[in-house]
Amino acid sequence: MLLPHLSRLFATSLPSLSFSNSSRLLSTSLMSVGAKASARTKATLRGVVFDMDGTLTVPVIDFPAMYREVLGPEAYAAAKKAGGGSVDILHHIEAWGPQEQRRAYEIISRFEQEGLDRLQIMPGALELCGFLDSRDIRRGLITRNVKPAVDVFHKRFGIMFSPALSREFKPYKPDPAPLLHICSTWNIPPNEVMMVGDSLKDDVVCGKRAGAFTCLLDETGQYGPHEDLEDDLRPDFKVSSLVEVFTILESHFDLAPERAQAV
């Protein structure tokens, strides 16, 4: 209970607050606290690692045709069934003898060269790279393609990824080794890095095994709803275009401040 003189002091010095005004002030305060708490709970992101074919570039290689020519129609059908619809062609080739491997890699190289002749940058890729650069977020690349293809990509589109690991780096995706190598090179823990790619069994599995955030690029919806994916294959995020990655980054991560433009 307030003493009489204190009661008068409060009555004359404080503005009267109706219940509705008090409610609005409380609501505003809670919203402010909630927003600050939300900002504090956002994860840190200091690096993004991309797949190349089908992620940074428009898919142009006819992989089913390549696999059929390498394995033969019957073996390809059996491998596809055993792999749940996907085929790890490099894994199959590793078990072959030198002569068979040579023939297989010649076929693969022909298809990859045809793909390079028609190489196109994925819509939104250049803008996304510029956004990452403006926030001082590192950019890396992991591909099961060969190093000359990575060199052509860098030169043709004028953007560099470092490190950029091709299939000469072994073990390759879905083993987490290449992603962990990039994290070690950057001196950034995997839980502050995101792996972005268009393959569940290569890119997403690689990222999850390394302990990184994962984002699946599913342009055609071939993988179905995000919630229907198996737990060990379910990415943290699923997008239908690289443009959607902007929203994910800004909504879920505490990004570094944008660089001030020079006057």
Over residues 87-98, the pLDDT tens digits come to: 888 877 888 888
Instruction: Please give the pLDDT value at position 107.
Output: 87
Is 53 designated active site? yes
**Tokens 């992989």, located at residue:** 63
Nearest to 214 by CA among 154, 164, 142: 142
Give the global pTM: 0.74
Catalytic hit among 53, 198, 203, 236: 53
Instruction: Please give the pLDDT value at position 168.
Output: 92
Instruction: Please give the pLDDT value at position 143.
Output: 96
* Amino acid identity at 164: A
Rg over CA atoms, the chain: 26
Which runs of E-coded beta strand occur in the chain? 43-44, 47-50, 138-142, 164-165, 193-197, 213-217, 237-239, 253-254
Residue 18 has a CB neighbour count (10 Å cut-off) of 8
Is 203 designated active site? no
State how far the alpha carbon of 14 is from the alpha carbons of 1, 18, 24, 55, 108, in Å. Answer: 17, 12, 17, 61, 80
Instruction: Please give the pLDDT value at position 147.
Output: 93
Instruction: Please give the pLDDT value at position 60.
Output: 80
Catalytic hit among 51, 198, 202, 236: 51
Residues of the chain with pLDDT under 50: 1-39, 260-263
Instruction: Please give the pLDDT value at position 10.
Output: 35
Contact yes or no for 54/199 (Cβ under 8 A): yes
Instruction: Please give the pLDDT value at position 40.
Output: 56
